[in-house]
Structure 1
């Protein structure tokens, strides 16, 4: 059977519009921003492309490099938590009865039906000083204090709200909440294709559940695990809304610094340099994954 792509007219008619759209609305704007990273401000509104690397040199200064490394650490911790939480969830869905799988997947994908901004404000109402979480803790505290007083141990001091917002904990919690479905879905896709007889054989031979998961399930699901790690880590690294709304002054990530350069500081060349440093890091991750896949295919 001949590859249809050899029919150039048919291939061009089908691929022409998407390629043109990609070039016009993605490649060209990206190239303009990349050119800005080698420029400098010439007045308030003009940018002169001078070919300078001063913006990149400024971007790797200790202040901004520290923020970038902190963003990497926050994204890595978010990804690790998503993996620890998402793997059991994906296993539960993969090994559930067929009639329940669509409903369980629906619950995982349900957050995508609501705008991210609305979900973030819902978290703010949940974790605020007078929010639902602190309200529940206050009722529990007051109830315990009342019981303690009745038993003669004396009442507790007044309840002080737990600072759940505007710190690093809030940022990581919000990022895990937002990106957990990105981890669960590729994990489920990999686990659902596993040969269940291998797992049954491992259990029958006395390996135990934990050893079966670490020695059989995890290696066979490695492609899905790696895909989930990348799909979760990359958007978490460039997250802007969650740190902006839920983080404090010490919880800002590199995307928030980039936003300030474009909007408040009006330093587009420096903001472009920071943006492309983030993009270079993303490309490196994707390239490493592609190289790993090629090595795996060569071995097989």
Structure 2
């Protein structure tokens, strides 16, 4: 009887997992295998690719020009993650512990940017930071500047756009982690003579690390591969790895090198995430 139940359960589980497995295989695994195969091929003069074994595509990445772009991308992604953490943690803390009456409304406001596409949000920043935009008009009205200043097509503009776009990805995991926090632990810390700052550093923050880790991963990964925001707000002055890959596929028609860049970016991000998780411990991810 137990064997029949076990077999029936296994068959039902396999039936449930089959659509997901087919979907991931068709739209993730197979395209990934094509990209890996293309990365060892040779690009033809007028587009297309000849499959083979050409490791030169990976060696080309070590050209100082391309290395500079990759390092810049990782640096901007790391800085975006840090800024999102510095802004997102106080916001999530306020929503959980100080804004209980308006908690649902505040969480809804955090999620509002998801209601519009990333492209529209990026174009909104183009309007805000442009020569005749709100930011320049405000600076002139306050007498800080005499005329329009260059706010767009700079690394700072890219940072602002990316921080705005990915801040919710930091706030929501932090909110989920802090919401599960037992307030009695804070009260116990105070009873033992700890100050608010000591209680936060020794009790609250360590217990919120799962949210910090999850939020950092959710922000860092898309930031490192971002190409829409740098293209609109950074222009040719702030080219990132995503823009370089897009250029290789759509303009230079060097599919082999573009594939090699894609594989290396994926390996770098995966390696960074694994190192990060191993340093803090996988047990810290539980509860998010």
TM-score strictly above 0.5: yes
Q: Which residue of 2 aligns with 1:124?
A: 126
Alpha-carbon deviation of 1:98? 4.3
- Cα RMSD (Å) of the superposition? 2.2
Cα separation, 1, equivalents of 2:175 and 2:52: 49
Call closer, same or farther: CA 1:5–1:248 in 2, change over 3 Å: farther
Q: Which residue of 1 aligns with 2:41?
A: 39
Deviation sequence 1:145-184 (CA, Å, 0-9, x none): xxxxxxxxxxxxx812222110111011111111100110
Cα separation, 1, equivalents of 2:182 and 2:138: 45
Instruction: Report the TM-score when normalising by structure 1.
Output: 0.88
Call closer, same or farther: CA 1:179–1:131 in 2, change over 3 Å: same
Alpha-carbon deviation of 1:227? 1.2
Structure with greater helix share of residues: 2
After TM superposition, the structure 1 = structure 2 runs for residues 1-300 of structure 1, keeping only pairs within 5 Å, are 7-96=9-98, 98-141=100-143, 159-292=146-279, 296=283
Report the structure number with the largest CA radius of gyration: 1
Deviation sequence 1:39-58 (CA, Å, 0-9, x none): 00234243111111110000
Cα separation, 2, equivalents of 1:84 and 1:285: 21
Aligned 8 A contact 1:183 1:231 in 2: yes
Cα separation, 2, equivalents of 1:41 and 1:288: 34
Aligned 8 A contact 1:93 1:104 in 2: yes
Aligned 8 A contact 2:47 2:254 in 1: no
Larger mean CA deviation between 130-139 and 77-86 belongs to: 130-139
Length, aligned pairs only? 282
Deviation sequence 1:222-259 (CA, Å, 0-9, x none): 11111111111111111111100000322111110111
Segments of 4+ moved more than 4 angstroms: 1-6, 292-297
Structure 1 residue runs without a partner (length 5+):
145-157
Cα separation, 1, equivalents of 2:90 and 2:80: 16
Cα separation, 2, equivalents of 1:261 and 1:5: 50
Instruction: Report the TM-score when normalising by structure 2.
Output: 0.91
